[in-house]
C-alpha cells in the first residue's frame, strides 16, 4: 500500500479536531507498516508522549553530530515544550527512538519547531517528511496559525518541499547570542 494511503487510513483517529492534550493521551500510533531498512522490515510508530527517555534522545542527537547538552536542561526544555513528536521502531521487541521534533508555542497564535532529527540509519526514507507532517497536523488541530522554524542551509529545500517559505514579505529570522 502506498505510504500516504496507509498514513491516512491508519491515522483516522486524528481526523477530527481535538486538543493537543487529548491527542497526547493516545500513545504509539502505527505510522508506517513494514518499512524496509537495510534488508530488515520494521514498523514505525509516532508518539506525542513527552515522557521520553532523555538518554535515548541525547543518543539520537549525538548520532547526527549535535553537541551534548546537560540532561537536566534537556528535561526542562521537554517539560516546557508545547508539543513533542517522536518516531520509534521496534527492534528485538524493544522500542528504539529514531526521530524527534519539539515545538514551543503560546498555545494560541505562534509556534516554533526545534530539534528536528532523524537517525542517519533511517534517513532518506521519507521519515523526516512524515515527522514534520505529524507535527504540522497537530499544530493545526490546536488552531495555531503561524508555524515557524530556523533551518540550516542544507535543509532549507527540504522544508520548502513541505510548504515552508523563507522571509515572507521580507520578514527576517534574527538571532541574539550572548557575547
Residue 177 appears among annotated catalytic residues: no
| Size of residue set near a copy of itself by CB under 8 A | 51
50 binding a copy of itself? (CB under 8 A): no
Closest of 83, 13, 138 to residue 130, by C-alpha: 138
In angstroms, rounded to a whole number, what is the distance separating the alpha carbons of residues 43 and 34?
5
11 binding a copy of itself? (CB under 8 A): no
Closest of 130, 30, 137, 38 to residue 83, by C-alpha: 137
170 binding a copy of itself? (CB under 8 A): yes
The 94-105 sheet, strands edge to edge? 29-37, 40-47, 83-91, 94-105, 110-118
Least CB distance to a copy of itself at residue 138 (A): 13
The cell for 77 is 526544555
Contact criterion met (CB below 8 Å) for 71 and 54: yes
104 binding a copy of itself? (CB under 8 A): yes
Considering beta carbons, is residue 43 or 49 the nearer one to a copy of itself? 49
Q: Which residue among the candidates 45, 55, 159, 177 is catalytic per the annotation?
A: 159
From candidates 81, 96, 123, 125, binder to a copy of itself by CB under 8 A: 81
76 binding a copy of itself? (CB under 8 A): yes
Closest of 67, 154, 65, 141 to residue 105, by C-alpha: 141
94 binding a copy of itself? (CB under 8 A): no
Stretch that binds a copy of itself, among 24-32, 53-61, 123-131, 146-154 (CB under 8 A): 146-154
For the annotated catalytic residues, the residue numbers are 159
Amino acid at each position: 500500500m502506498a505510504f500516504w494511503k496507509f498514513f491516512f487510513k491508519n491515522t483516522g483517529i486524528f481526523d477530527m479536531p481535538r486538543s493537543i492534550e487529548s491527542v497526547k493521551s493516545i500513545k504509539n500510533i502505527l505510522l508506517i507498516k513494514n518499512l524496509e531498512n537495510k534488508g530488515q522490515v520494521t514498523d514505525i510508530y509516532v508518539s506525542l508522549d513527552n515522557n521520553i527517555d532523555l538518554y535515548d534522545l541525547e543518543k539520537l542527537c549525538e548520532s547526527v553530530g549535535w553537541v551534548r547538552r546537560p540532561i537536566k536542561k534537556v528535561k526542562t526544555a521537554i517539560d516546557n515544550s508545547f508539543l513533542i513528536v517522536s518516531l520509534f521502531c521496534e527492534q528485538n521487541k524493544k522500542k528504539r527512538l529514531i526521530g524527534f521534533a519539539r515545538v514551543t508555542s503560546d498555545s494560541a497564535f505562534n509556534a516554533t519547531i526545534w530539534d528536528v532529527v532523524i537517525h542517519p540509519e533511517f534517513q532518506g526514507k521519507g521519515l523526516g517528511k512524515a515527522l514534520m507532517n505529524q507535527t504540522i497536523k497537530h499544530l493545526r488541530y490546536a488552531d495555531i496559525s503561524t508555524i515557524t522554524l530556523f533551518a540550516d542551509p542544507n535543509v532549507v529545500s527540504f522544508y520548502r518541499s513541505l510548504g515552508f517559505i523563507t522571509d515572507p514579505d521580507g520578514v527576517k529570522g534574527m538571532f541574539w547570542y550572548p557575547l
